[in-house]
Amino acid sequence: MTLRPVNRDDIPHFHAVMMAAGMDPRSSWSRTTPADLERSLFSPGSGGFLALGGRGEAVGCVGYRPDGEHTLTLNKLATRPDARGTGLGRALVWQVEHVARAGGYGRVLLAVSQFNLDVLPFYEKLGYVVSGDTYAHANPSSPPPVVLVKPISAPLSEGRGAGGEGSRPQPTEDTT
């Protein structure tokens, strides 16, 4: 698998992966449009990654955005069902954690829909813990999500800049 930063031309592929992920239709996730993705992935400081399979097809995605000075929020993590169990989800989460570290953020926060609670053990294995934080981007027409956080240690040699080109990780090969 190849992981690379998302660009605007990737929005249809990113959206297709999200829709193929199998989220409960009651979730606001299933109502996400390509225009929503463009706003989310390309607002200041935001970004994401697209995972490509061996034939160049999109098989996974993740987004991130800053939420205040100390928090980078991970969002829109999705993998196609046939790519699960390969380490792809973990690799996508690690890419966002790398952005947080490089940007000097103190933690990564994510929200899990009440309709997708079976993913909690996945995040807990990666070091995320349930928090009492409120998710700033919760859809008011959906039940409140479960918020998880993970502290991130920033390298001393790198400063803020999670959204700038200099802070984006280089494309990587995920061999898991």
Q: Which residue has better confidence, 136 or 149? A: 149
Nearest to 94 by CA among 56, 64, 57, 132: 64
pLDDT at site 24: 80
Domain residue extents for the chain = 2-158
To the question of domain 2-158 being in CATH 1.10.260.40, the answer is no
pLDDT at site 160: 43
Nearest to 101 by CA among 169, 171, 40, 4: 169
Q: Which sign, positive or negative, has the C-alpha torsion 6, 168, 139, 51?
A: positive
pLDDT at site 166: 35
Task: Please say whether the beta carbons of 148 and 110 come within 8 A.
Answer: yes
Decide if pLDDT at 118 tops 60. yes
Question: What CA–CA distance (Å, rounded) separates 42 from 2?
Answer: 21
The per-residue pLDDT for range 2-55, each reduced to its tens digit, is 999 999 999 999 999 999 998 888 788 888 999 999 999 999 999 999 999 999
| Terminal Cα distance for the chain, rounded | 8
Decide if pLDDT at 74 tops 80. yes
pLDDT at site 155: 62
Task: Please say whether the beta carbons of 112 and 169 come within 8 A.
Answer: no
Task: Please say whether the beta carbons of 162 and 98 come within 8 A.
Answer: no
pLDDT at site 138: 76
Question: What CA–CA distance (Å, rounded) separates 19 from 81?
Answer: 11
pLDDT at site 75: 94
Model confidence at 168, pLDDT cuts 50, 70, 90, reads: very low
pLDDT at site 133: 87
Task: Please say whether the beta carbons of 39 and 87 come within 8 A.
Answer: no
